[in-house]
Structures are given as C-alpha cells and as structure tokens.
C-alpha cells in the first residue's frame, strides 16, 4: 500500500481491501529484483482474492528471485475518488508502487463484465488505455483467463494476450522481457518476440490493426499436460476480510469431458487432467496447518468425477475432523453424489448444497447433454433434507436452444415435486431457485444459437416466479440486462473495443455489481458508435466465421457443429473419460491424453494427534489492535484472530450442532480506524493447557498490529467485564485544538449530544467524561486526552467527542489517529 494513503483509509468503506501486509504476501528487496510484475485483477479485492488463477501465477512468479510479482485490484468508487483527490496513482498492495512503474502488467479476465474495470485501472495507474498510445517507457500490458478465448473485444487495450494455461507461458514471457532488457531495443522488438511464443496473441502484429480479421494466423492454446509437475501454492496471501470464497482451495483436476453443450469451460480446459490424490492430501495438510482455515474446497469442474474421491475424502476427514475442518465439493453432479460422499461431508458440518438440473424437462436436459434424470434429482433432494439440510439451492437456465413453454412449465413442476417430496419429511425447509439467461459462449456447440432478448428473457423469468408462489420457495435471477451485455461482449469483434471505451468514458465500472451497473450508459455507447448490439446475438449458419475462430482450443469446429445438431435432435454424447473416444480432436491436435489416477496411497508416518479426554478451561487474552489492524472491521479482526489461534495448533473448544464454532467471546466492536492498546478476548480450550503452554504456542505478534500482551485463566462461568473505564488520546494540529472549548466543557454542568442513528434522549456528555485535557507537545502539536466510563448507553465513540467538544468536521476526524488506552477493569 502507498504509505501516503494510510491516514486517509478511514474515509473509505472496507479499508482492509487496500492494506496489503497479509500473512504469506511476498516482500522482496527491490534492489535484487530485475523484473517487476503487477498481477492485476479487474474487480474488488474480495473477488480477486478468490480467483485461483491469480494465486497460481503469484506463486509461480515469486519462486524466481529475480522477479517480484505484486497484486493490484480494482478500487471501489470511493477509493478511486480518493486516489484522484490525493493525486496518487493506483498502487500495488505489496510495495505501494504505482501501476505505471511496473515492467509487466498482467490482467486476469475471468468474466466479460469486468472489461471497463481494466480501463479504469489502467487510467488510475497512469498507463495509456489504448495499446497503440503506449510509449517506450510504459509497461507491457498483457491478459489471460477464459475471456481471452475471444480476445478481440479487448484486443485494442492489450499488448499481448495469453490463450490457455498460464503456468509455463508466463515464465516464457518473463524470459523474453529479461532478454530484451539485456540486449536492448525498442518496444516493437519485444512485441515481436512475444508474438513468437506459442499461445500468445499480439494484436498489433497478428491482426495488422484490422477491425474484423478472419485471416489472423491461428493461435493454439497452451496446456499443462500434468498438473503434478506444475507449481501450485500450498498457501497464498491470507486475507483479513471475508472474501467471496473464504476457504482453502485445492485444484484436484482441470478439464471436464461431460460434454454439457452450453459450457465453455468444458471445451477450453479439455482434456481431463487429475492431480494425484497424494499431492492433494499434501497440499491440504500444509495449507490448513499454515492458514488456520476452517474449511477446504476440492476444486474442479466436476468434483464428483475425481477418480479417487471415495478414498481421499475419508482420509481427509480422519485427519481434520477433530479440528472441525469441513470439506466442501462445490461442483457435484447429481449422478456422482454417492451416500459415501454425503456421509463424509456430514462428519464436521453441512456446507452449502446445490443441485444444477439446468433444465426442467428430460427433453431439454437431453438437448444440452445434461445426463441426469428427474428421479435422480428428486432422490438427491430427499436425501439431502433427510440428513438435516434445511436449504437446497437449485440452478436453472432459461432460453436454452429449442426451449418451449412446456419446458418452462416442466421447470415449475419439477420444483413443486421437490417441495412436495421434502414437505412429507416434515420440519423447516427452503428451496432457493436461481435462474440465469443462457448465453451462447464462444467455442461451445451452442455458439451458433441465438440469445434471448432482454424482454423475452424477463417475460420467461417472471412466468416462473409467478408460478412458484410458495413460502418455501425463493426465486432469484441475474439482471437480464447484465446477461444481455455479457452475451454481446463475449461474442464481439475488434469493433467492440470502441464501445467498451465509450462506456468507460461515460463512467461505467463494476458492471458485475448490481448497485453500480448502468445499462443506460451502455445503450448510449452503442448508439454513439452506431452499433446494433442485437446483431451479435443472432443465430448463425454453419459456415459463419466467428471473430474467435482463429483461436484453436484443440476441439474441432466440425465436432462442435455436430454436437449442436445432436443436441437439437435430443441425442446424448457419453463422457469419454471412462468410455470410447468421441473424436473431438483435442488429444491428437495437442498431442495429449487425459490423466487419471485410480489409486490412493494413504500417507505413511503422518502425525497422529492425540489429546487427553476433553474438558474445558477459559483464558482471557489481552490483545492490541494497532497499526494495520485498526483498519479491520470487528468481524474481520475476529476471524483473523481465530485463524491465528488455529494456526498455532491451540486445541480450541467448539460449540455443538450442525455448525460447530470456536468458543470465543469478544468485547464491544471498535470503530474502524481506532487503535486500542488492550482488548479482552475469552477463549475456551481443552483443560490440559496452561498459561505457559499458551504463551509457548502463540506468537507474540499474531499479525501486524495485533499482539498478545496478557494471558490469565478465568472461571469458566465468568463473562467479559461490561463496565469499564477507557482513556482516549489523539494528536491535533494547533489550529484544530481550541483550549477555550475545553474550558467551556469543563466549566459546564451539562453537555447534551445525540448519538447518530439513535432516536433517544440526548446524552449528557459531561456526566460520562471523567477527565479532559489539551496539552502542548514539543513538536508544536496538541494532545487531547479524555477518560470515560462505558455504561448502559454503550461506549461513546471518539468521533462523537471530537465533533461535539472540538467542533471538528467528519473529514478532519477521519484523518486523525485516535488511540484507546488500556482499560481499567478487573482483568
């Protein structure tokens, strides 16, 4: 983080997005680094930190001592405005270096609604948005991720785009840059060198600046044949705040050959390559031990298809059940959900459960090659609720090719059948129905199909919601305008760059977020560029040349067309993972074969953790919250402490029930930005621990700004002290500290103030504040101190005192660093 920003962080929401300094973030001596690489993610921190691809590249690049990879995320609008006000360029988290000062800037492009965020980040970082306008001293800006399989809509903004797996090619790009830097030459020489790398598309060279380029030389995707030989991080920077996927994630396989005809990932990531179960186990062992996460996810496009799942899951639960670590499988198909898998998931706690029928009738499921039956769906739902789940999420798409009114009615009927079956079991339950509009993505069998208009999409969604009128059923869907825009951007050509730029100029950012999305701005951009967006969403004939045809996934276009035709006739295609080859072309084209592991050897010599018979003690910790920690919200700070205790191997006591939680008690929440020299936390642990053993296990500094300064055992039935005396201190410029106001307060008998947001009688601040002083310091500033006692009205926040007594404005208060001193209590 840029040091100049820190004192202003209280002015923005969720300042923890911008702190950096997380555990496992990489800091290097810049004097020993030859290449500075900015890994940029075009969305907010909590989204980008959940993205696996960025974690892999961060690990891969920082393994090399001469390369320093740092992270940069899209700022929220309030932070973007603050950067502009302070004339600070968008900085990295690790060193605070401005984006324009990096050598290479690499963006991940996981979804199209982040496109304007790329432009916003370049602009805020001081880098020309259009690649053609970049000069010799500017960074080389590249991109990778699923969206680069149609690179054309964003090709005007990137110097190069990586197609396919990035672990190897990113190293080749760095090697090309280091050689170019050593040998010398202009920017064009470097771009020509990059254009010679397999899987790299350089628009300025390959497409010769043509807006529609059917004759661009073919670019074949890069692929990692064996995940076990590629680098994978056991740990990554550990966020303070809760992120979208706030758990340890281990990729157990890449690729899927189930053949769902709407699914782009099932084509572009072929063939299936499994990670060995031994390596998965090892990564989880190290990752959970070092991070303190209470949940781990086994990631793949279809986790239930992982060959050794029924052997691996029991081994994982045997190791981690006592520590109450849950294991989740986020992409389970109904036909892979065995009773053995469910039994293992239940050993700790119930994680979320989703069934994705995609379509409501068997006819339409055959069209999309989703080979699950209604009977399997109903049986799974009954099983899930009978085992104690109370919420089931169902995922459907509307607008699939050949969909009719009968299919929509079939969807409604299927949900009602599930509701009826579950109601027979008794008890509380909820069914959450999530609907989305089908988008004919590039490189899929359905790329020739049309997408519904916004009006038709909304009509079908509204019909379903009206028909599912039950207190047990919630129906939600993605904004049809966002789906419409996503379809246009995913199928666009080079001309789309002008529309994206125009929308960005009009203020369109964070389009994936409903509160920021504005379809009106995009409408204006299309109109001003004289482009009809609907033209990109029409059905096409077999010989149509798509803008992305020059990108070779390895799957033949003829195969995709044949799959489209088989779908329209309701003919299924089996999974080639265990059966015959379907002749899609991927294996001979890329000279690769699926990689499957059929046996799991349980690790020998693993540490056996044996604890004495469980009974409980309670310890009271006294902990600071200063420095970076003061910018953490209460829940963020609480979660960071719990993870620290788990990392230290402290045998915590847990609550009972379906969702066991550590037995910890925290004091009142501190305002974000307030430092505290002592906060109390009660922790329940197994009774064989002593104060000395806890000191031995816990590091004094749990994480930056949070330090343990006291530990004492307290009775198990004791509670944190409710009535305490606090002292606050803040340094003020002379112009801000008015001694007359202090005298006026001290001489008064009443000083009424109103607590913000509280419709109560005004508080008499004079009866709450025990002492108040304003003292000069040697450096020409003033120190304000006041002591108060918390009571029935709660803690009086320092900003209320500063606003009321010192007449300070909110903007001034937000720039101050207030310190809460140690509490006087019965500790």
CA-CA distance, 239 to 49, in Å (whole number)? Answer: 8
Crossing angle of helices 115-124 and 77-86, in 10° steps, is 20
pLDDT at 759 over 70: no
CATH architecture of residue range(s) 3-220? 3-Layer(aba) Sandwich (3.40)
Band of pLDDT at residue 757, cut at 50, 70 and 90:
low
Q: Are 19 and 97 in contact (CB under 8 A)?
A: no
Class of the 352-439+451-479 domain? alpha beta
Question: How is residue 240 annotated by DSSP?
Answer: S
CA-CA distance, 669 to 637, in Å (whole number)? Answer: 10
Domain extents for the chain? 3-220, 352-439+451-479, 616-714, 725-820
Class of the 616-714 domain? alpha beta
Peptide bond into 343 cis (omega under 30): no
Total-model pTM:
0.93
pLDDT of residue 209: 46
Share above pLDDT 70 across residues of the chain, in percent, rounded to a whole number: 95
Mean of the pLDDT values across residues 74-97?
Answer: 97
pLDDT at 188 over 80: yes
Mean of the pLDDT values across residues 486-508?
Answer: 98
pLDDT at 750 over 80: yes
pLDDT of residue 605: 47
Q: What is the mean pLDDT of the chain?
A: 91
Mean pLDDT lowest for which of 219-228, 331-340, 422-431, 479-488? 331-340
Q: What is the pLDDT of residues 344-402, one digit of tens each?
A: 877 776 666 888 999 999 999 999 999 899 999 999 888 888 887 888 999 999 999 99
CA-CA distance, 88 to 636, in Å (whole number)? Answer: 27
Q: Are 372 and 410 in contact (CB under 8 A)?
A: no
C-alpha separations of 734 from 29, 219, 730, 772, 786 in Å? 39, 65, 12, 17, 18
| 177 membership: H or E segment, kind and range | helix 169-183
Mean of the pLDDT values across residues 85-93?
Answer: 96
Band of pLDDT at residue 827, cut at 50, 70 and 90:
very low
pLDDT at 534 over 80: yes
CA-CA distance, 335 to 33, in Å (whole number)? Answer: 51
CA-CA distance, 74 to 134, in Å (whole number)? Answer: 21
pLDDT at 642 over 90: yes
CA dihedral (492, 494, 495, 498) positive or negative: positive
CA-CA distance, 324 to 662, in Å (whole number)? Answer: 9
Nearest to 313 by CA among 289, 279, 342, 292: 342
User: Maximum Cα–Cα distance for the chain, whole Å?
Assistant: 91
pLDDT at 778 over 60: yes
Mean of the pLDDT values across residues 31-44?
Answer: 98
pLDDT of residue 585: 93
pLDDT at 413 over 80: yes
Token pair for 343: 């039994």
Band of pLDDT at residue 103, cut at 50, 70 and 90:
very high
Token pair for 760: 């109560």
Burial 657-677 (b: 16+ CB within 10 A, else e): eeebebebebbeebebbbbbb
pLDDT of residue 423: 86
- Rg, the chain, Cα only: 29
Residue ranges of alpha helices (H) inside 303-430 are: 309-320, 339-345, 362-367, 374-386, 405-425
CA-CA distance, 184 to 476, in Å (whole number)? Answer: 56
Same CATH fold, 352-439+451-479 and 3-220? Answer: no
Count of C-beta atoms within a 10 Å radius of residue 615: 10
CA-CA distance, 14 to 37, in Å (whole number)? Answer: 26
CATH architecture of residue range(s) 725-820? 2-Layer Sandwich (3.30)
Band of pLDDT at residue 288, cut at 50, 70 and 90:
very high
pLDDT at 611 over 70: no
Backbone angles phi, psi at 348, to 5 degrees: -115, -65
CA-CA distance, 206 to 484, in Å (whole number)? Answer: 30
């Amino acid at each position: 983080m840029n040091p100049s920003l820190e004192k202003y962080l209280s002015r923005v929401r969720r300042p923890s997005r911008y702190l950096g300094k997380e555990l496992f973030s990489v800091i290097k001596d810049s004097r020993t680094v030859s290449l500075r690489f900015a890994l940029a993610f075009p969305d907010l921190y909590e989204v980008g930190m959940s993205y696996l691809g960025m974690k892999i590249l961060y690990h891969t690049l920082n393994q090399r001592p001469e390369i320093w990879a740092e992270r940069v995320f899209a700022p929220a609008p309030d932070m973007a405005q603050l950067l502009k006000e302070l004339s600070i360029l968008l900085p990295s988290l690790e060193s605070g270096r401005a984006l324009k000062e990096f050598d290479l800037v690499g963006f991940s492009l996981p979804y199209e609604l982040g496109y304007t965020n790329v432009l916003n980040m370049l602009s805020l970082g001081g880098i020309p948005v259009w690649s053609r306008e970049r000069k010799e001293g500017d960074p080389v800006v590249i991109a990778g991720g699923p969206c680069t399989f149609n690179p054309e809509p964003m090709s005007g903004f990137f110097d190069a785009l990586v197609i396919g797996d990035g672990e190897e090619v990113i190293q080749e790009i760095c090697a090309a840059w280091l050689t170019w830097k050593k040998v010398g030459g202009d920017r064009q020489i470097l771009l020509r060198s990059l254009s010679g790398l397999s899987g790299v598309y350089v628009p300025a060279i390959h497409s010769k600046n043509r807006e529609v380029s059917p004759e661009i030389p073919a670019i074949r995707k890069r692929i990692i044949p064996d995940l076990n030989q590629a680098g994978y991080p056991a740990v990554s920077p550990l966020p303070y705040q809760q992120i979208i996927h706030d758990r340890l994630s281990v990729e157990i396989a890449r690729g899927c050959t189930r053949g769902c005809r709407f699914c782009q990932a099932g084509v572009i990531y072929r063939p299936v390559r499994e990670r060995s179960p031994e390596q998965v186990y090892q990564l989880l062992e190290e990752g959970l031990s070092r991070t303190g996460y209470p949940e781990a996810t086994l990631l793949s496009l279809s986790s239930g298809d992982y060959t050794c799942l029924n052997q691996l899951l029991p081994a994982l639960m045997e190791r981690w059940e006592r520590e109450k670590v849950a294991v989740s499988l986020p992409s389970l198909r109904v036909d892979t959900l065995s009773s053995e898998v469910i039994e293992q998931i239940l050993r700790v706690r119930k994680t979320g459960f989703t069934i994705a029928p995609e379509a409501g009738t068997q006819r339409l499921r055959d069209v999309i090659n989703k080979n699950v039956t209604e009977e399997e769906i109903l049986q799974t739902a009954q099983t899930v609720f009978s085992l104690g789940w109370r919420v089931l999420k169902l995922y459907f798409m509307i607008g699939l090719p050949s969909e009719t009114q009968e299919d929509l009615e079939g969807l409604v009927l299927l949900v009602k059948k599930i509701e009826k079956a579950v109601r027979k079991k008794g008890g509380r339950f909820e069914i959450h129905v999530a609907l989305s509009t089908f988008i004919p993505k590039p490189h899929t069998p359905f790329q020739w199909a049309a997408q519904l208009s916004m009006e038709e999409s909304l009509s079908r969604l509204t019909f379903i919601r009206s028909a599912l009128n039950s207190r047990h059923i919630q129906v939600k869907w993605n904004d049809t305008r966002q789906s419409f825009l996503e379809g246009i951007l995913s199928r666009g050509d080079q001309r789309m760059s002008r529309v994206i730029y125009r929308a960005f100029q009009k203020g369109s950012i964070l389009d994936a977020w409903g509160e920021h999305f504005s379809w009106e701005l995009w409408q204006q951009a299309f109109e001003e560029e004289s482009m009809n967006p609907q033209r990109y969403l029409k059905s096409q004939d077999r010989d149509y040349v798509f803008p992305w045809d020059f990108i070779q996934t390895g799957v033949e276009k003829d195969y995709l067309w044949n799959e489209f035709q088989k779908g329209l006739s309701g003919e299924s295609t089996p999974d080639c993972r265990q059966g015959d080859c379907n002749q899609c072309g991927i294996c001979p084209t890329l000279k690769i074969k699926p990689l499957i592991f059929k046996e799991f050897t349980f690790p020998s010599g693993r540490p056996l953790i044996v604890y004495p018979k469980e009974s409980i003690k309670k310890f009271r910790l006294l902990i600071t919250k200063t420095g970076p920690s003061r910018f953490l919200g209460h829940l963020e700070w609480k979660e960071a402490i719990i993870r620290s205790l788990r990392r230290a191997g402290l045998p915590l006591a847990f609550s009972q029930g379906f969702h066991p939680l550590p037995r910890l008690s925290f004091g009142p929440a501190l305002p974000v930005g307030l430092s505290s020299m002592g906060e109390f936390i009660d922790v329940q642990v197994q009774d064989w621990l002593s104060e000395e053993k806890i000191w031995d296990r816990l590091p004094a500094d749990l994480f930056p700004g949070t330090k343990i300064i006291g530990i004492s055992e307290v009775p198990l039935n004791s509670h944190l002290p409710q009535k305490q005396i606090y002292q606050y201190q803040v340094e003020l410029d002379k112009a801000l500290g008015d001694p007359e106001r202090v005298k006026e307060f001290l001489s008064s008998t009443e000083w009424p103030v109103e607590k913000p947001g509280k419709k109560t009688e005004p508080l008499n601040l004079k009866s709450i504040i025990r002492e108040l002083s304003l003292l000069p310091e040697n450096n020409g500033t003033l120190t304000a101190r006041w002591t108060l006692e918390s009571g029935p009205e709660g803690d009086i926040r320092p900003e209320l005192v500063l606003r009321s007594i010192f007449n300070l404005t909110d903007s001034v208060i937000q720039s101050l660093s207030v310190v809460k001193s140690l509490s006087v209590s019965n500790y």
